[in-house]
Amino acid sequence: MIGTPEFQAAFESAQRTIFRLETLQYYDADPGFDRFLAGEAWEATDSKQHWVDRVRRIVDRGVPMQRVHVVTEPWTDYIRFELTQSYPPNVEAGEDIRIITAPEPWPGPDFWMFDDECVWLMHYDEAGVLVGVEDVSASTATVRACVARKDEALAKSTPLRQVVDMTG
């Protein structure tokens, strides 16, 4: 669980759409990454299972969840982990995860958007550690800019299944 109770509540109150834009090449959050680097089998943590259950519950009530991650080539070890190990359970639960391959990372900010009107910026330090979430929904200009960024990201992205063979 990240962020504030208000941020967490936005997932449950969304009625039409939930969207996530990721622009970093590394996020310091998944203990499975160390196991991946060591060549060990990936196992879902309790927090990952909680997330997958949340995705399934939200999608089952008719709210599409989309995520676009902008990645650079060559893929870092972290990106390989995320695309081949961490994301597939999300996709199986119903999250539409898409990838943009770009020559350089897109400038941030990363954000979550709910119903194209509620926007939470995600703030990370240089090491990819989440340091805070910020509700910017009151800023009409910021919301409009995030909607435009979402539309651009979706138009330029490719479904994860087409980027990575997820057949096992």
Per-residue model confidence (pLDDT) at position 166: 54
Residue 125 lies in a domain: yes
Q: What is the CATH number of the domain that holds 124?
A: 3.30.870.10
Q: Are 72 and 103 in contact (CB under 8 A)?
A: yes
Residue 147 lies in a domain: yes
Residue 40 lies in a domain: yes
DSSP letter string over 144-155?
HHHHHHHHHHHH
- Bridge partners, residue 31, by sequence: none
Residue 168 lies in a domain: no
Residue 35 lies in a domain: yes
Residue 89 lies in a domain: yes
What domain range is 27 assigned to?
Answer: 5-163
Measured CA to CA, the distance from residue 138 to residue 129 in angstroms comes to 26
Give how many domains the chain has, as a whole number. Answer: 1
Per-residue model confidence (pLDDT) at position 168: 46
- Bridge partners, residue 96, by sequence: 66
Residues 6+ apart with CB under 8 A from 34: none
pLDDT tens, 39-82? Answer: 988 777 888 899 999 999 999 999 999 999 999 999 999 999 99
Residue 118 lies in a domain: yes
How far apart, in Å, are the Cα atoms of 46 and each of 4, 43, 69? 19, 10, 23
Per-residue model confidence (pLDDT) at position 4: 82
Measured CA to CA, the distance from residue 118 to residue 137 in angstroms comes to 5
Residue 99 lies in a domain: yes
Instruction: Give me the sheet containing 130-135, strands edge to edge.
Output: 130-135, 118-124, 110-114, 18-22, 65-72, 96-102, 158-159
Phi, psi for residue 109 in degrees, rounded to 5: -90, 160
Average pLDDT per block of 10 residues along the chain, 168 residues long: 83 97 92 89 84 97 98 94 94 97 92 98 94 95 97 97 73
